[in-house]
A = this chain, B = another copy of it.
């Protein structure tokens, strides 16, 4: 139930890509890592899995970098964390004597998961960007 570093990094990186989305220019790992102070070699791995999941695409070579494959309002936070956290179809693991009680417990846990996922589904990268901008405005107001 804790927000992992992985997911936070991924969200921050995609948020950065969101704000540069309209330029059409790719953003480089180094730039993202510097702005959000994320270890760059680690971020590289995360972006690789995001690429494999189809959320971003990469351009190799000089002047390369990463771009979102979709508009920021089409990518939900659920898309991000579920791919980075590796949902794995959650597997319904074992064979062994599953008691009635454990079925009941797992059933209610599904409700918990669905409640959490509902929240993640309703927010998009766009929403995050807007919240950040709103927060920036607030900070400026208070500064004056």
Residues of A within 8 A of B (CB): 1-3, 8, 11-12, 15-16, 35-37, 77, 85, 90, 96-97, 99-109, 111-113, 115-116, 118-120, 123, 128, 131-132, 135-136, 139
A107 proximity list for chain B (CB < 8 A)? 131
Q: Distance in Å from the Cβ of A68 to the closest Cβ of chain B?
A: 16
A102 proximity list for chain B (CB < 8 A)? 8, 12, 36
A120 to chain B: closest residue by CB? B112
The one of B8, B116, B120, B136 in contact with A100, judged by C-beta atoms closer than 8 angstroms, is B136
Check if A108 sits within 8 Å of B135, measured CB to CB. no
Check if B99 sits within 8 Å of A36, measured CB to CB. yes
- With a 10 A CB-CB cut-off, give which of A77, A85, A105, A139 has the most chain B CB atoms: A105
Q: Report, nearest first, the 3 A-B pairs whose CB atoms are least far apart.
A: A3-B109, A115-B115, A116-B116
With the chains together, A25 CA to B67 CA distance in Å? Answer: 64
Check if A108 sits within 8 Å of B8, measured CB to CB. no
With the chains together, A97 CA to B38 CA distance in Å? Answer: 11
CB contact under 8 A between A104 and B119, given known A12-B99, A85-B1:
no
